[in-house]
A and B are shown apart, each in its own frame.
Chain A
Amino acid sequence: MTRKLLRNVATIAATAALSSSALAGELVINTDTSDPAPKAAFEQLIADFEAENPDVTVTWNIFDHEGYKTSIRNFLTADAPDIANWYAGNRMLPYVNAGLFEPVDDVWEEHGLTESLKSATASMTIDGKIWGVPYTYYQWGVYYRKDIFDDLGIAVPTNWEEFKQAGMTLSDNGITPITIGTKYLWTAAGVFDYLNLRTNGYDFHMALTRGEIAWTDERVRATMNNWMELIEAGFFLENHAAYSWQEALAPMVQGDAAMYVMGNFAVAPLREAGLTDDQLGFFQFPEITSGVPVAEEAPTDTIHIPANSSNKEDAKRFLAFVARADVQTKINKTLGQLPINSGSTVADDKFLLAGFEMLSAADGGIAQFFDRDAPAEMAKAGMEGFQEFMVKPERLDTILQRLEKARQRVYN
């Protein structure tokens, strides 16, 4: 943590030094793209933008991915860049409420984004205004070891009974059905979200994260009871609270675990670890309550113009550029994710194509993620509760009561 603190201090100092008084035609961009793929994608994106707009000089500050979450608060108030990246949904609410993001409805109208980015309109809108431009998203679902499933004669499960049956077969053969690392909590929220979306549906998920439903509600309990069935049947990796999501990849690579409820970003490290596309597969999280419209989870990443930006003119040009179909095709090819623009093409990758098909057919709705749909404090309390529940399922009542107490405080 000292390291993190130091880094934050360093980044704050760096922003102060770098982004002082932007000149006309100078565009300052702050991003959290410190991982290799996102970094390469933005490098290319900015180079292309500069080539098309020779009158604009871009100054690009890359922040550490984790440190950015703290730095953004400082630079939005103190020394704003002209462009900053962030996330859709409730995650941008504090900045919208504090008046730190600029509404960009005019960009959307002028460039016909209301049509081409239609699928993301809801998650970009707060108080009837649009607050940025989405450039990428990715599906969540179940990544699995196809070769192990084939060896044991397990078919891809499409409903709850088949799913539990598949897990039983895996357990009987000494393989952990689902690997997970909950040290940093959010992975457990992914499992909860899917169980909840499949048990109660999209509208319930949204109402719950908006704080309109008590955590002690019978429907929440139904979700938790489904989860309990999996926990009691030994579905999840032992000692998962000691691992990060990356560490939990190892059992899957070694063939000790067969499934992972994850976002598409898990594919790259799994491939790097040596799994081929013949060994690795993807399937949609199976149906639980029949008749519930199928909803999926697909977090959207976005770019915004800070309200204190000194070059909003060029910033809007940049937003329009990023929204374009061909640009989104290119950037998402590098990112290994899905473009938002309906005119873009999805990269020729079996996971991306499967994800795209799945999301296009999701008539129930597209959720962001538990910690992007719920306010930060509720998200934290909730995810801690999920982790505890996965280890100590007998404490369900205590946990739900605690979450209910948190709900009553947070949403007031």
Chain B
Amino acid sequence: MAGLANRINQRALAPWLFLAPGVLMFLFYVIFPVFQSIGLSLYEWDGLGEKSYVGMGNYVELMDDEAFYTSLKNNVIWLVLYMLAIPAGLFIALFLNQTVWGIRLYKSLFFFPFVISQVVVGLVFSWFYDPTFGLMNVVLKSIGLDAIAVLADERYVTYGIIAAGLWPQTAYCMILYLTGLNAVNPEQIEAGRLDNAKGWKMLWYVILPQLKPATFIAVVVTVIGALRSFDLISIMTDGGPWGSSRVLAFYMYEQAFSEYGFRMGYGAAIAVVLFLIMIVYIAGFLYKMYRDEQDN
């Protein structure tokens, strides 16, 4: 009798014991800080002195802050345009998915931008865009066009940085699709051939459905990549010119931690807004996972 109770105890306890380290870490490093940030966003605090409670004051100020709307708009542009990495990655993967001599070398060259640090990518593109000696403007001038100072012009700056970000992101999607393509069932392709499927139709109806898991992961990492587009902005423009290339993550950093910032409460309020945006996406993501599991 005692033995049975023990075994039941073990069965009930063991999973929790194994889960405990992960759960504790998650609670302490993710869940707890989320609530702490929400709490902090109700205060005004410079990180040194006393906190003073301001209620919704930070949010009210946020609603009347041009810089906040600029950042929000840029975040949306990032989310939309960053998605280009997915089709671009797919086509490069299709192109590289062949057996010719030296293909491994080409594949690694295409993957290279993802391996180097974002900081280096940012620097390379800053030089590429440089209004006087940058490659882009040298080319533009040689065909008789005027130089464009991409990173100093509020109209182009966000697009310029996104283009830089797409370079490594495309490589990432490419590698996801390359592995996906390895798993494509040759029998189904054969069957498609017999039914006279070719080119686009073959791609759309036979290949792509089989690449669905890869596409799903590619969308996830691209959305995450777009939302944490922080290092490139910091390296290439530092949020400028006059703050027109900021995104929410960067604006939060600027308000809370940069040289002229240290408005912890206001930074926390921005973080909360960013969190709310992310939660919409995460909820959709969880819902889809749940539905897929139900189907199975």
- Residue numbers of A with Cβ under 8 A of B are 1-4, 66, 69-70, 73, 77, 94-95, 97-98, 100, 182-185, 238-242, 371, 376-377, 379-380, 384-385, 387-388, 391, 402, 409
Contacts and interface: CB of A to CB of B under 8 A. Distances in A.
A376 B49 contact: no
Interface of B: 46-49, 61, 66, 117-119, 129-132, 147, 149, 151-152, 230-231, 233-235, 237-238, 240-243, 253, 257-263
Contacts, number: 83
Contacts of A100: 48
B135 to A, nearest CB: 15
27 contacts: A1-B231, A1-B235, A1-B253, A2-B119, A2-B231, A4-B234, A70-B257, A70-B259, A73-B262, A97-B49, A98-B46, A183-B152, A239-B132, A239-B147, A239-B149, A241-B149, A242-B130, A242-B151, A376-B259, A376-B261, A377-B261, A380-B261, A384-B243, A385-B242, A387-B241, A391-B241, A402-B66
A241 B234 contact: no
A185 B243 CA distance: 11
A241 B119 contact: no
A143 to B, nearest CB: 21
Q: Is the interface of A mostly helix, strand, loop or mixed?
A: helix
Nearest to B254: A380
Nearest to A384: B242
Nearest to A385: B242
A100 B46 CA distance: 14
Given A2-B231, A183-B237, A371 B152 contact: no
B152 A391 contact: yes
Contacts of B61: 409
A98 B49 contact: yes
Q: Which of B149, B233, B240, B260 has the most CB of A within 10 A?
A: B260
Given A3-B119, A241-B149, A94 B46 contact: yes
B259 A241 contact: no
A242 B241 CA distance: 8
Contacts of B237: 183
Contact of A239 (B66, B152, B261): B152
Nearest to B133: A250
A95 to B, nearest CB: 8
Contacts of B119: 2-3
Given A183-B237, A240-B152, 12 more contacts: A1-B235, A2-B118, A94-B46, A94-B48, A94-B262, A98-B49, A183-B238, A241-B151, A241-B240, A385-B242, A387-B240, A387-B241
